[in-house]
Structure 1
Amino acid sequence: MSPDDVRAFANRLMDEVWRPFDHTALPRFYHPDVVGHHRAQTLALADIANRLQWDVQNFGNPAYDIRDIVAEADRFAIRFLYSCTMIGTGEVFATEVIYFYHLRDGRIAEFWLLSGIDFDYKQRPA
């Protein structure tokens, strides 16, 4: 994929998966054998689906303020400010998030997540 194609992919990923917390869209964007890295967690596709299902139940009014997308052939980094309201408490939550993605055959094969908070991808929805 060209850098322009990769940038468009990054924007579609945010619009179709992360903004709506749509776990059913994952196969269009992630390889079945994707490997993710976040602090001590090694993540698989099922963990990403789990994360999205947890988020939709717990994060109200999510907002992604994308500050940077750096794209080159078959890889990109995205930095954004994320905020939401915790549905259970009404507390406002905000953090800066940076992802690094490697693509293979037009889908995400591996990623790294850096954030000011520990997102537990293995936390189960209610």
Structure 2
Amino acid sequence: MTIATEKPEEENLPLSKLKSLCWTHFRELGFDCMAACFDEVAPKTDGELTLAGWSSAEFNAPPWTFRVRFRPFHISHWSAHLEVRHDGPLPGVTETGYRSMFVPLKTFATMTPKEFVRSEICSKLPATQQLNLF
């Protein structure tokens, strides 16, 4: 993770090796595709958004509740994929209650994934609906 947040232009050799092994052996391991293999071997955490692996958490930002899935290195070595779900529309953000974002990992050198979600979602809400975060 340090390589990805501090030197995003550099190749992440441990990640490259893991993905290479998945590309090479996914069939022998019983997977239909490399992505399924990588999904299985990526470390996971529930209940807290973390840079240490793929994680998911639910948190309140009254009056809303967000369910977030955070996957660093999902497709590239320089970004994380965030899925934000909410039961119902967030005007100006998503009418479906779902938002997907690819975010450069260097973003998380200065804020946590949870802080990013709050700042990204709340900054897009109309002024009358923005949340007071502090």
By relative contact order (CA 8 Å, sep 6+), the higher-ranking structure is 1
> What is the TM-score normalised by the length of structure 2?
0.33
Whose helix proportion is higher, 1 or 2? 2
Length-normalised TM-score, structure 1: 0.34
Flag the structure with higher strand content. Answer: 1
